[in-house]
Structure 1
Amino acid sequence: MKKAFVAFILLIFISTSRAAKVTDWLDSYNVLWTSQSKGSYDSMPCGGGDIGLNVWVENNELLFYISRSGSLDENNCLLKSGRIRVKLTPNPFINSGFSQQLNLRKGFVDVNAGNTNIRLWVNVFSPVIHVDINSKEKLSAEVYYENWRYKDRPVRKGEGNANSYKWAIPKGLVTKADVIENSTDKVIFYHKNDAQTVFDVTVAQQGMDSVKSKMYNPIGNLTSGGMLFGDNLKFAGTSSGEYAGTDYKSWCMKSVKPSSSHHVLIALHTQQTESLNQWKQGLADIVKGIKSNDDKKRTQAWWNSFWNKSAIRINEKNKDSEAWKIGRNYQLFRYMLGCNAYGSYPTKFNGGLFTFDPARVDSTLNFTPDFRKWGGGTMTAQNQRLVYFPMLKSGDFDMMTSQFDFYLRILKNAELRSKVYWNHEGGCFTEQIENFGLPNPSEYGWKRPANFDKGLEYNAWLEYQWDTVLEFCNMILETKEYNNEKIDKYVPLIESVLTFFDEHYRMLATQRGRKVLDGDGHLVLYPGSACETYKMAYNSTSTISALTVVLEKMIEYSAADSTKSARWKQMLSTIPPITIREENGKKMIAPAKLWERINNIESPQLYPVFPWRVYGVGKKDLDVAVNTYFSDSDALKFRSHIGWKQDNIFAACLGLTKEAQRLTSLKMKDSELRFPTFWGPGYDWTPDHNWGGSGMIGLQEMLMQTNGEQILLFPAWPAEWNVHFKMHAPKNTTVEAELKDGKVTSLQVYPAERMKDVVIMIKK
């Protein structure tokens, strides 16, 4: 790798002031359709705050699905709030010009037909959806609230994958009916969970009844729903129908009189309360607080600020190039993440807020629109991390707290697991974890040997996989490094996780013999797991890397507290080194010291490259990691760009420009569906958010990496791709740079004193 030149050269325009508004260029990335859609799979995302809409026009009618973060039922399925259908008379969609456009700058979707405009937008700061209809002629409007949960629906074979029961559906399991109430001027709809839910079933299954009263339970007595109303609407009756193979019932609100403008609103509310009246009062308060004009201005200002934080624009003058589409898709997917900026739950890796009728993803899964694979309230850390890591460089620190708070809420339950099962301290977080901190019950295993350790998942993929939570601990610490975020409330989480590893593996050692450490004074991390792939591992490389990096950062964080600092230094001294092996004369990183079998297709031998950054551009022994990338037989066999695969990230972090370019081009190209970033299903579901997240990370790493104080620009960037980017780096640093024809033409760094740390690296 060549360091072509450093920051101070005449070709670079240096400015110490913040960059000009990024939104000056944003409109070129708006998605425009000039024909109607064939179904919900042809939909366009729209959203804000914690609400996502799938918007499409089909058979001359406007439709959209409504999803809201945290709308979980008694089985822990993430429910859609319903579907809205809008019919206009006279119908402007008949024999008129048509367009549908996502306006990224302002966060709304415009649908135009003839002289009529329909604008959909969501208030970022309050859970309210607005549908503004304006026309040059007077129109009558019919707005239908459509609901397929108007009755109890038996959960069919295969359908349990949408909830916490997965493939082990109890006999007679149903999704309970919603309640829909109408009056003259509104339709109210809600799903109220009973006090008894899958939480209670799981607690009993996993032997935690003795501490149940102390446990956090997020779904008992949870009510989610909302209200449909409008300035010129009154209730006009009910009807029934079928869409995409699912029957539904509809409640119609009709305009009192024809008008050239109609304003339709849907207010949503989610609350955990035994009293339905409390929920209704909370909904009424939301409705009372609506100030449409002010809300629109504030929402558009938020989106403008969002776009000004970060951007990657590639080959702007060549919109037909694949490279331009990669840049556009980076923006589009970031928009989708922004729609759940402030959700009560993290953006789900398996579709986020934008899933649609499932039969279009898999024709054998002809279920309701609520369906998605891999659960609703179940979180899979290995996938979720890829959704949130790119937010560091994009500067979306405010959006990361939903993921951090998820773990903080369930910390007590994770600590109770360790106490009940093993009588030691520390929070035990598993993979495939429920939103109440216990393992998913079906992944935990319903048919378990009576003498099997109740703290373990009886599962060939997941057994002994404790270390994935450490990536979120690291992410928390990195928000402090990047933006000096106040992380005090999360420190007990990190400390508890580290305590678990120290105490648990000392305990396991005492069960095997007299000594708690090996002959070198190190913990024996056995049994363990290197991702879900190398099972029954001894000294897993992914675990060693994770513990080493998090401990080093906690030592630095705790520098002012000598007691805590000494504690973490002592623990760090017990972490074994990463195992290096040699094949055909080449040194490579091993996935573990030993293992019993291979169960999946991940490459934990490259986790010291990402996410742990032990190896990388400018770091020592880079050749060992590069050898691993190119010569490890398993890593080669598992290589792919699909879904959660992160080979594009590995290549970028190792400065392998051609590989990074190839894999990123495959990962970030247009999806097979109409909306370019509805990727998937990959290994999960559509839209596949860890597909998009891993694509974002790889692209960011191609452009900018850090090594200690150094800010490395273009470490894996092809010189033939022109680019203008703005990203964030540690120490509250913002970097904006432009590369044209292989030369840096502008560079702006804030604060100015960080300019001395910039190193520009362009391969010739």
Structure 2
Amino acid sequence: MKLVSVFFFSIWFNNIANAQQRNIIWNTQSKNSSESMAVGGGDIGVNVWVEKGEIYAYLSKSGAFDENNTLLKLGRIKLKLTPNPFQGKDFKQELLLKDGYIQIYGKKGKLTANVKVWVDVFSPTIHFDVESNQKIHTEASYQSWRFQDRITKGKENNQNSYKWAPQGEVKTLKDSIYFQNNIVNFYHTNKKTVFDVVVKQQGLENYINELYNPLFNRTAGGSMWGKNLHQAGITEGEYLGTPYREWKLKTIKSVKVSNLIVDLFADFSFNVPIVGERVAPDIAFKATKKWWNDYWNKSFIYINSVDTLANQVSQNYQLFRYMLGANSKGNWPTKFNGGLFTFDPQLTDTSLKYTPDFRNWGGGTHTAQNQRLVYWPMLKSGDFEMMKPQFEFYKRILQNAELRTKVAWGHNGASFTEQIENFGLPNPAEYGWKRPEGYDKGMEYNAWLEYEWDTILEFCMMILETERYNNQDITAYMPLIESSLTFFKEHYTYLAKQRGAKALDANGHLVLYPGSAAETYKMAYNATSTIAGLKTVLQRLIELKSASEEQKKNWQTILNTIPPISFREFNEKPTISPAKLWERVNNTESPQLYPVYPWGIYGVGKPGLDTAINTYQFDTDVLKFRSHVGWKQDNIFAARLGLTDEAARLTKLKLQNSGRRFPAFWGPGFDWVPDHNWGGSGMIGLQEMLMQCDGKKIILFPAWPKNWDVHFKLHAPYQTTVEGVLKNGKIESLKVIPEERIKDIIKMIE
């Protein structure tokens, strides 16, 4: 390519990048919190909006679990300027995505002001930096709806671990909030918690001192203070029907510059910040900007097309990745049901007139079928450090999962159920309070969740893939992986011996019954999703260079006992069956296609692709269940199968603007707003359209429309990055690092 064409091409794509990475601009104020803008960093998420001339912000931090395992908001900030530049006609609120902060501009007459809102990536601190061309007063209010105890009734308990089955009265207990030397301190320390209730329910009282408990004495809160700000009283008010009390700070004299700082924490101690003992804000802001700049340089997908929905896909891919980046350094995973960016629930469902703490499907309760979709896309985006909170989640609860297995069944291995608490035991409502006498203590008495153990295998595979993609040391997670596999070996041997004299079938295979193919095909015999997961994880373990020969021999022995995938026919064409047999259909997933994704047994360039395509095109359940909503992953299946038009159609539906003011606030789907498994499955689908990896092979554009010009940078196994440009259906440039990996590239578009 000539130098001049390279120059103009670079300008062209830089303009695309700027449009899709920076320009989230609103020129009018918001009606309410549902029209908020996301900003975050470290492990903090903030919803920011301007309503009736005043700036509001909801505060969220990873790990802020209360006694009932609600993931609490840590309050709301209101910022009011007097005289008020936001009461004029000129207004602009912009998310500068590249640098990771929000800028709010207002002008009334000759008065102008800018407020910069940013979160320090390296310290749990939120900054509101106010600058004006004339001297003004700044008033900052810390608003809390938890100034008194609140009894939670009915559906409101869906925000906690009790859900629809509270055992007696449930309360969200009040916070401690007070002034101290022109600082507003706010915090809450857990005492008696739902952990104790669950342990007793599940017959583990005798082991309570051995069990990991992340809730007792957990303290979450923070402090609000700022330059030139002094305490200015306590008042009360109401927002969207929820009463609150507010503690005010105000400048004594008018100034052109003021800075509000909010420090947050969520651990096992409360320390009032020592003002001044911190990195200077200008240095901290510079470091935060650099972190975000590096984040965007690490991976991206920029699309330019006459198809406006394709361009939306690209912009919203970056926006959602930004939201994920807000929890890059957290101790707890980003929740599938809203992450750190939920808002007042009645703005999602008008019947749910609860506090801003509400989110459906719980706060400390994790649904692995959903969580997996939040974390799979981080491999190809190279965000390996952001996967650690999810891996650590399972590592922390491993001991509890192993102990419950031993107590219930007397064998080894970790049993990780669906709807699992952040301490490794089944959610009490899903476990069931009204259980038949003598019912198996290890089982959830639940039509959707019974016998569903295999979702842990996807997280085991993610861990193994970080070793393959990034050469990460996964030694600390090997006990988790091995214990998860041990459970399947020992539990299905245990069940078989209860039924008869033989532990294996006539072919020497485990009899995986009763089982479950996702939440859909119940009382399943040899569920395909389980078989595919076990085979793939075991094969990947055997490939580990760090493993001993003895380990490999043991894994191969287990692998030899895994039964084959079953098949059936539609329209006289072979298709993958969801299981060998099953008793009923309970949900709307398509686990017969899990061997396509996430397990990669079938796909572009692999044997049996026609059978997998038949399954996608002719299986009547798959057709009936097809959708782009929420956790549905049909877009991913289509991409993995090389069905370009179908993948593009579904991915556009997935990642088009959400219909809310912030384009990536999708949902509620099956869960909540913003729906992070909706965004995650959209990300995965787009990545798989661009690049698929099979061993050392890197397949480019396996399901990419030729009329979608694109500049992308994605990560592949063996510490490889691939950056390419496609324009007018032709590859304009391709850069592979390390260069020797270019030999492994297979181009589906030349």
TM bracket, shorter-chain basis: over 0.9
What is the CA–CA distance in structure 1 between the aligned matches of 2:678 and 2:83, rounded to whole Å?
A: 43
SS of aligned partner of 2:158: helix
CA apart distance, 1:192 = 1.1
Letter of the structure 2 residue corresponding to residue 56 of structure 1? W
Kindly indicate whether residue 724 of structure 2 is the aligned counterpart of residue 728 of structure 1: no
Equivalent residue in structure 1 for 2:597, among 587, 610, 615: 610
Identify which of structures 1 and 2 has the higher relative contact order when contacts are C-alpha pairs closer than 8 Å and 6+ apart: 1
CA apart distance, 1:131 = 0.4
Equivalent residue in structure 2 for 1:108, among 101, 107, 132: 101
Query: Unmatched 5+ residue regions in structure 1?
Result: 1-9, 273-278
Compared with structure 1, are the counterparts of its residues 286 and 406 closer, same or farther at alpha carbon in structure 2 (3 Å cutoff)? Answer: farther
Letter of the structure 2 residue corresponding to residue 250 of structure 1? E
Kindly indicate whether residue 626 of structure 2 is the aligned counterpart of residue 633 of structure 1: no
2:341 paired residue number: 354
TM-superposition CA deviations, 1:121-150 (whole Å, max 9, x none): 001111001000001100101100000000
What is the CA–CA distance in structure 2 between the aligned matches of 1:431 and 1:473, rounded to whole Å?
A: 15
Kindly indicate whether residue 462 of structure 2 is the aligned counterpart of residue 475 of structure 1: yes
Do the aligned residues in 1 keep the contact of 2:571 with 2:618 (CA within 8 Å)?
no
What is the CA–CA distance in structure 1 between the aligned matches of 2:413 and 2:141, rounded to whole Å?
A: 51
SS of aligned partner of 1:393: coil
What is the CA–CA distance in structure 1 between the aligned matches of 2:479 and 2:2, rounded to whole Å?
A: 49
What is the CA–CA distance in structure 2 between the aligned matches of 1:404 and 1:455, rounded to whole Å?
A: 24
Equivalent residue in structure 2 for 1:284, among 247, 265, 273: 273
Mapping of residues 250-261 of structure 1, within 5 Å = 250-261=246-257
What is the CA–CA distance in structure 1 between the aligned matches of 2:746 and 2:270, rounded to whole Å?
A: 58
What is the CA–CA distance in structure 2 between the aligned matches of 1:590 and 1:167, rounded to whole Å?
A: 35
Do the aligned residues in 1 keep the contact of 2:61 with 2:265 (CA within 8 Å)?
no
What is the CA–CA distance in structure 1 between the aligned matches of 2:742 and 2:280, rounded to whole Å?
A: 45
Kindly indicate whether residue 591 of structure 2 is the aligned counterpart of residue 619 of structure 1: no
Q: TM-score, normalised by structure 2?
A: 0.97
TM-superposition CA deviations, 1:369-424 (whole Å, max 9, x none): 00000000000000000000000000000100000000000000000011111111
Q: TM-score, normalised by structure 1?
A: 0.95
Do the aligned residues in 2 keep the contact of 1:43 with 1:55 (CA within 8 Å)?
yes
Letter of the structure 2 residue corresponding to residue 271 of structure 1? D
Compared with structure 1, are the counterparts of its residues 134 and 343 closer, same or farther at alpha carbon in structure 2 (3 Å cutoff)? Answer: same
1:491 paired residue number: 478
SS of aligned partner of 1:158: helix
TM-superposition CA deviations, 1:215-237 (whole Å, max 9, x none): 00000011110000001011010
Letter of the structure 1 residue corresponding to residue 303 of structure 2? I
What is the CA–CA distance in structure 1 between the aligned matches of 2:276 and 2:216, rounded to whole Å?
A: 25
What is the CA–CA distance in structure 2 between the aligned matches of 1:146 and 1:523, rounded to whole Å?
A: 58
1:270 paired residue number: 266
Mapping of residues 24-63 of structure 1, within 5 Å = 26-29=17-20, 30-63=23-56
What is the CA–CA distance in structure 2 between the aligned matches of 1:269 and 1:140, rounded to whole Å?
A: 29
Kindly indicate whether residue 316 of structure 2 is the aligned counterpart of residue 326 of structure 1: no
Compared with structure 1, are the counterparts of its residues 145 and 476 closer, same or farther at alpha carbon in structure 2 (3 Å cutoff)? Answer: same
CA apart distance, 1:26 = 4.0
What is the CA–CA distance in structure 1 between the aligned matches of 2:69 and 2:29, rounded to whole Å?
A: 34
What is the CA–CA distance in structure 1 between the aligned matches of 2:714 and 2:561, rounded to whole Å?
A: 37
Equivalent residue in structure 1 for 2:410, among 423, 427, 431: 423
What is the CA–CA distance in structure 2 between the aligned matches of 1:244 and 1:727, rounded to whole Å?
A: 43
CA apart distance, 1:559 = 6.2
2:227 paired residue number: 231
Compared with structure 1, are the counterparts of its residues 287 and 678 closer, same or farther at alpha carbon in structure 2 (3 Å cutoff)? Answer: farther
2:152 paired residue number: 155
SS of aligned partner of 2:473: coil
What is the CA–CA distance in structure 2 between the aligned matches of 1:287 and 1:519, rounded to whole Å?
A: 73
Compared with structure 1, are the counterparts of its residues 759 and 285 closer, same or farther at alpha carbon in structure 2 (3 Å cutoff)? Answer: farther
Letter of the structure 2 residue corresponding to residue 202 of structure 1? V
Do the aligned residues in 1 keep the contact of 2:707 with 2:728 (CA within 8 Å)?
yes
Kindly indicate whether residue 378 of structure 2 is the aligned counterpart of residue 391 of structure 1: yes
Do the aligned residues in 2 keep the contact of 1:558 with 1:565 (CA within 8 Å)?
no
Mapping of residues 592-741 of structure 1, within 5 Å = 592-741=579-728
Equivalent residue in structure 2 for 1:754, among 708, 733, 741: 741
TM-superposition CA deviations, 1:617-664 (whole Å, max 9, x none): 000010000000000000000000000000000000000001001101
Letter of the structure 2 residue corresponding to residue 189 of structure 1? F
Kindly indicate whether residue 236 of structure 2 is the aligned counterpart of residue 246 of structure 1: no
2:290 paired residue number: 301
What is the CA–CA distance in structure 1 between the aligned matches of 2:88 and 2:417, rounded to whole Å?
A: 57
Equivalent residue in structure 2 for 1:75, among 63, 68, 76: 68
What is the CA–CA distance in structure 2 between the aligned matches of 1:300 and 1:170, rounded to whole Å?
A: 48
SS of aligned partner of 1:57: strand
Compared with structure 1, are the counterparts of its residues 190 and 20 closer, same or farther at alpha carbon in structure 2 (3 Å cutoff)? Answer: farther
Number of aligned residue pairs? 740
CA apart distance, 1:271 = 2.2
Do the aligned residues in 2 keep the contact of 1:26 with 1:104 (CA within 8 Å)?
no
Which stretch of the first structure deviates more once superposed, 501-510 or 90-99? 90-99
Do the aligned residues in 1 keep the contact of 2:13 with 2:711 (CA within 8 Å)?
no
TM-superposition CA deviations, 1:209-256 (whole Å, max 9, x none): 121111000000111100000010110100001001100000000112
Compared with structure 1, are the counterparts of its residues 362 and 286 closer, same or farther at alpha carbon in structure 2 (3 Å cutoff)? Answer: farther
CA apart distance, 1:762 = 2.7
What is the CA–CA distance in structure 1 between the aligned matches of 2:715 and 2:478, rounded to whole Å?
A: 23
CA apart distance, 1:289 = 2.6
What is the CA–CA distance in structure 1 between the aligned matches of 2:181 and 2:12, rounded to whole Å?
A: 47
TM-superposition CA deviations, 1:173-221 (whole Å, max 9, x none): 1100001011341110001111x20000000000011211110000001
What is the CA–CA distance in structure 2 between the aligned matches of 1:232 and 1:618, rounded to whole Å?
A: 65
What is the CA–CA distance in structure 1 between the aligned matches of 2:618 and 2:3, rounded to whole Å?
A: 39
